[in-house]
Amino acid sequence: EAGVTQSPTHLIKTRGQQATLRCSPISGHTSVYWYQQALGLGLQFLLWYDEGEERNRGNFPPRFSGRQFPNYSSELNVNALELEDSALYLCASSLRYTGKTQYFGPGTRLLVL
């Protein structure tokens, strides 16, 4: 069974540009979570999508946004990129039911110059 996939693996942007990161969940999973891991910092929760709706978001500015498609894949968009947005962005998926295990993808490493 295929795991969570993310693309691209690496992304280089300049300040002020927009970045789009993509995630495909494990087949059958309807919930998608996004996390940010900046260098030297822990994993921080960004966003949670389920059944196409944003269910919760972490303490990040509105320029971090996303969506979930009918096939449950998801995009994370980061507008007006800042240098401190450079990080590993991780996507996880889980079954819809409460408290289910989240499985993580390999991540997209974003570098903002």
Partner 1 sequence: DAKTTQPTSMDCAEGRAANLPCNHSTISGNEYVYWYRQIHSQGPQYIIHGLKNNETNEMASLIITEDRKSSTLILPHATLRDTAVYYCIVRPTNRDDKIIFGKGTRLHILP
We find the least distance from the C-beta atom of residue 16 to partner 1, in angstroms, to be: 26
Half-sphere exposure of 52 (CA within 13 A, CB side): 3
Residues of span 39-68 touching partner 1 by CB under 8 A: 42-43, 45, 48, 50, 55-56, 58
User: Which residues fall within 8 angstroms of residue 18, CB to CB, at 6 or more apart?
Assistant: 77, 78, 79, 80, 81
| Residue 86 near partner 1 by CB under 8 A | no
Judged by CB under 8 A, the stretch of 13-21, 31-39, 60-68, 76-84 that binds partner 1 is 31-39
| Residue 109 near partner 1 by CB under 8 A | yes
Kindly tell me the burial class for residue 71, based on how many C-beta atoms sit within 10 Å of its own C-beta (0-12, 13-18, 19 or more): exposed
Residue ranges that bind partner 1, judged by CB under 8 A: 4, 31, 33, 35, 42-43, 45, 48, 50, 55-56, 58, 88, 90, 92, 94, 96-107, 109
